[in-house]
Amino acid sequence: DPFSSDPERHPVLRVNCKKPFNAEPPPEILTESYITPHVFFFKRNHLPVPQVDPASYRLKVEGLPGGALTLSLEDLKTRFPKHTITATMQCAGNRRSDMNKVKQVKGLNWGISAIGNAKWSGARLRDVLLALGYGPEAAQWARHVHFEGLDKDETGTAYGTSIPINKAVSEEGDVLLAYEMNGEDIPPDHGFPVRVVVPGVVGARNVKWLGRILVSAEESGSHWQQHDYKGFSPGTDWNKVDPRSAPAIQELPVQSAITAPADGAVIDRGDDTLTVKGYAWSGGGREVVRVDVSLDGGRTWQVARLRSGDDGQPDEPSPPPGRAWAWKLWELTAPLPPEAEELEIVCKAVDSSYNVQPDTVPPIWNLRGLLSNAWHRVKVRVAE
């Protein structure tokens, strides 16, 4: 069994698939802390978790003028400044279950918790590429940076993807070769000893157990870059889908969801007020500037309070424009509407480009169930 050496996982996780291991935390746990503890951070593995010995670990870097180079973990930690960012990571399939309710799609049936927020520390990819010879000459032809994991399928093919060169070398891109998550060694499920963190970009490009980096004129030819993680029209079905017709997903669109109360919860009529909680985030470093909440299915709206720190603690300092990599947690306490027997609670976020979420799923439905970011709705009952 290639999965026999997979790590232990927290029993509270909701498992979507055991082998490979894919799981998410219960929604209400997700917004209990601004920084997601690694045990509750969603796990999305395509293959068995590779066991990597940190002492013999080598990262290959290829495609630069100096030819192929290798870096040890020690090199990464000592030769380059340590940089820390707080960044939210979201799987392209987060909230896929909402698409399944409209019409069956292919993929793991994620709820709303295939997302997490962590503090990542490591060497900047930019610093490593520059130190190894990236410069004006390479900039003439280089367009993409490929990443390959040490996890391999039965045919020996490693998980791999790529990102555009601009994101990789920009001073504002904050792409990390991370060796710490929340101040500790990256746990095995999240890429020990080194993973790429590409803030603002879909989870799929944040390659774990990083084994190889390649600077290239071409995009990665991998299955995950060319055939998966792309968006299509609601009218496209499996008979006529042409993967070449769509670009690979990189920056994600604006997203928000309600983590409490849970769908189907029963609220006590005797409570004067109702508290609604959730998260909101947007890709590309766009900051969430507002979250609107409705208790009546979208007829009337109230503005939620946003925070970027733990409840009762000071917020993290505001990020520079275009570098808002971390989510906002939000909360609204409002009078319980009198006489209502059922409430349809809805949330929607607005980002710094004034992008908004679509109100319903059908216009964004797609056969893989990706980019599911319609207004999130939960129904609760009010009882005596």
Min separation Cβ 195 and ligand MTE, Å: 7
Our finding on whether 151 is near ligand MTE (CB under 6 A) is: yes
Binding-site partner at residue 307 among ligand MTE, Mo ion, none, CB < 5 to 8 Å by type: none
Our finding on whether 206 is near ligand MTE (CB under 6 A) is: yes
Binding-site partner at residue 120 among ligand MTE, Mo ion, none, CB < 5 to 8 Å by type: none
Per-position DSSP letters for 143-191, written without gaps between them: -EEEEEEEEE-TTSPEEEEEEEHHHHH-TTT--EEEEEETTEEPPGGGT
State which of positions 49-78 bind ligand MTE (CB under 6 A): none
Our finding on whether 203 is near Mo ion (CB under 5 A) is: yes
Binding-site partner at residue 209 among Mo ion, ligand MTE, none, CB < 5 to 8 Å by type: ligand MTE
| Cβ pair 367, 97 in contact under 8 A | no
Our finding on whether 175 is near ligand MTE (CB under 6 A) is: no
Binding-site partner at residue 207 among ligand MTE, Mo ion, none, CB < 5 to 8 Å by type: ligand MTE
Of 204, 249, 304, 371, the residue at the interface with Mo ion (CB under 5 A) is: 204
Instruction: Provide the β-strand partners of residue 343.
Output: 380
Our finding on whether 44 is near Mo ion (CB under 5 A) is: yes
Please give the backbone phi and psi of residue 252, each rounded to the nearest 5 degrees, phi first: -95, 155
Per-position DSSP letters for 177-240, written without gaps between them: EEEEETTEEPPGGGTTT-EEE-TTB-GGGS-SSEEEEEEESS---SHHHHTSSB---TT--TTT
Give 273's contacts (C-beta < 8 A, 6+ positions apart).
333, 334, 335, 336
Of 180 and 228, CB closest to Mo ion? 228
Of 89, 110, 57, which is closest to residue 190 (Cα–Cα)? 89
Min separation Cβ 22 and ligand MTE, Å: 8
State which of positions 276-305 bind ligand MTE (CB under 6 A): none
Give 141's contacts (C-beta < 8 A, 6+ positions apart).
217
Count Cβ atoms within 10 A of the Cβ of residue 233 and give its class: 0-12 exposed, 13-18 middle, 19 or more buried.
middle
Of 105 and 204, CB closest to Mo ion? 204
The tokens describing 280, both together, are 């909101």
Of 91 and 129, CB closest to ligand MTE? 91
Give 175's contacts (C-beta < 8 A, 6+ positions apart).
124, 125, 126, 163, 167, 168, 196, 197, 198, 199
Min separation Cβ 155 and Mo ion, Å: 21
Size of the site for Mo ion (CB under 5 A): 4
State which of positions 4-43 bind ligand MTE (CB under 6 A): 41-43
Of 87, 91, 138, 207, the residue at the interface with Mo ion (CB under 5 A) is: 91
Min separation Cβ 235 and ligand MTE, Å: 26
Size of the site for ligand MTE (CB under 6 A): 20
Where do contacts with Mo ion occur on this chain (CB under 5 A)? 44, 91, 203-204
